[in-house]
Amino acid sequence: MAEHKTGSGLRTVWSEQSLPDIPLGEYPRPQFVRPDWFCLNGRWDFEVQPNGAIPEEYGDSILVPFSPETALSGAKRSPGPGETGWYRRRFTLPAGFMKDRLLLHFGAVDQSCEVFMNGRSAGTHEGGYTPFTLDVTAFTSPAGENTLTVAVRDETAEGAGIYGKQSVKPSGIWYTAQSGIWQTVWMESVPVNHFTSIRITPGEGKSVTLQLPDAMEGDAYAVFQSGHRVLSGVFDLRGRAEFTLPDGILWTPERPFLYDLLLRRGSDIVKCYFALRTFRAEKGRLFLNGEPIFLTGLLDQGYWPESLYTPPSDEAMIYDIETARSLGFQVLRKHVKVEPDRWYYHCDRLGMLVWQDIPNGGAPYSFFWTALLPFLGVHVSDRNYGRFGRRYERARKLFRREAEEIVLALANHPSIVAWTLFNEGWGQFETEALTVKMRQWDPERCVDAASGWHDRRVGDFCSRHRYFGRLKLKSDPRVQALTEFGGYSLTVEGHAFSGRGIAYHRVRSGGELTSALEKLYTEQLLPLKREGLQACIYTQLSDVEAEHNGLLTWDRKVLKADAEKLSALNEALRSREARADASGEKRAE
């Protein structure tokens, strides 16, 4: 058994306040809303077993949805490799809640689990970043007390699944591993004939395509603009509907307008939303709604000192997004992690573009093959599986499946404009074939096939990382993107993880940091933009454990650099005055 980390005792303001009995109790899936639901977040019984046996007694408790390794969970211990974490929750359904079918939803459970209802197995799931649903009607008492039990195993890098930056031996750029239930658990009761999902695809000319996976005759929809119905119709027998809103309002970061979409199948009514937004790469440039756009953004790891992967509250998610916006950034690169669905909802409604990574997996990586040789200009084939930690076919197969599940789970969010398939060679394999797969799963977004170091010359981006020296653009027909850079490190005493931390460049004060950023942006980024650079992602939004290179401290209490000067630098980058087109001519406003 392992003791959990506490982030050096740091807490954000959202957990210094009294936590509610039901933390993160907002409806967890804003793009597919039913009015009646039952949240199961809160205090559960908890126990760790050295084997898979059901515990006879539960000697601990845990606050769901916080992982047992976190301070907010309240758990005294967490499962190590080879151990099982057992969760138990007794509940009674609200009076009148039960309809025909009872659905049990999990936002995410890290990394594999089996779910029991009243002692009977209701299903299993593998994959720590994707939501899943179980029909538990046959196992549940609609009027009496029920016992929900979840058995969780998490092998982190020792298993076959994807795990991002989690490490059982955290140091440097690798962070404290976490496990178990880390997103909301909830129930819905639905009629026999109910919707399961929908794919919403905006297209050129303010067109929208709706696709149901399981169509039934009479399925209907209605579109609302600012509360007023503007369109209604029915799906065809293939579950498809297409329409155009010629006077529709386009979604942009400056005006993130969302349309409401109501689905009806008999007594099942579901509220969704969508946006009129297109994004594409063409001839080395990026276009939002057909207009050229330069992306200036931040690397966002999505870690919290008291709760690791799980934001401490809905307000905490909003704060990160709004802070980035206030500093002039219009894109967040969500780095090798997937957030709860509400985070993407807030990006949708607040106007923050998202560059979404697929979390990495595979066996521990060889520094020699993945990091050292690329700096020497030597690249090996990513079909040499062992060199990239991908020796086993099961792990490769699981990555393909989990990557597809992540893309399909997030595909309706208009804020997401690009996917990163692999980062810095971590678990990289078969890049060309997987890029083709990514385009099949989501033809409407751009693909960053290999961010940094191991470019296979596929995808939409020539995607490079640079922390030292001057960057020069390569001759490449794809979009030129600096997807990691900067990383200036400032340790703010009392607001940092213990120790000096790692750094690419150290500064001693907020003023020195601001000056360094001004020099970096004016002397390197603006000239590179005139030469054809189309996107840049600064490292990073906030500190994380030993990385003290955030613009915000890890507890989000201190903004290290001058906000007005950062905003002005980003405004200069976004301005068309500094952008050169393919002919080298400046484009005027």
Q: What is the pLDDT of residues 273-288, one digit of tens each?
A: 999 999 999 999 999 9
pLDDT tens for 215-224 read 999 999 999 9
pLDDT exceeds cutoff 50 at 28: yes
Are 577 and 529 a contacting pair, CB within 8 Å? no
**For residue 470, what pLDDT is reported?**
87
pTM of the model: 0.96
**For residue 583, what pLDDT is reported?**
32
Three state DSSP letters for 225-244: ECCEEEEEEECCCCCEEEEE
Read off φ and ψ for residue 224, nearest 5 degrees: -125, 135
pLDDT tens for 328-359 read 999 999 999 999 999 999 999 999 999 999 99
At how many degrees (to 10) do helices 341-350 and 314-326 cross?
A: 40
- By C-alpha distance, which of 272, 340, 284, 330 is closest to 481? 284
Calpha distance 30→272 (Å, rounded): 7
Calpha distance 295→286 (Å, rounded): 9
**For residue 577, what pLDDT is reported?**
54
Share the mean pLDDT of the chain: 93
**For residue 7, what pLDDT is reported?**
55
pLDDT exceeds cutoff 70 at 571: yes
Reported as type and span, the H/E element at residue 570 is helix 563-574
Q: What does the pLDDT average to over 449-471?
A: 93
Calpha distance 145→506 (Å, rounded): 58
pLDDT exceeds cutoff 80 at 588: no
Confidence of residue 370 (pLDDT cuts 50, 70, 90): confident
Helices then strands, counting H and E runs in the chain, come out as 10, 34
For 417, the token pair is 């404009």
pLDDT exceeds cutoff 60 at 482: yes
Q: What does the pLDDT average to over 501-524?
A: 94
| More confident site: 384 or 555 | 555
Task: Lowest mean pLDDT of 9-23, 219-233, 396-410, 571-585, name the range.
Answer: 571-585
Calpha distance 415→345 (Å, rounded): 8
For 140, the token pair is 């549940």
| More confident site: 257 or 471 | 257
Calpha distance 309→377 (Å, rounded): 35
pLDDT-above-70 percentage for the chain = 96
pLDDT tens for 298-311 read 999 999 999 999 99
Helix (H, G, I), strand (E, B) or coil at 261: strand
**For residue 380, what pLDDT is reported?**
80
- Other Cβ atoms less than 10 A from the Cβ of 349: the count is 18
pLDDT tens for 403-450 read 999 999 999 999 999 999 999 999 999 999 999 999 999 999 999 999
Q: What angle do CA 476, 386, 474 make, to 5 degrees?
A: 10
Helix (H, G, I), strand (E, B) or coil at 93: coil
Angstrom distances, CA of residue 340 to CA of 104, 218, 242, 274, 346: 17, 33, 29, 18, 11
Amino acid at 172: G
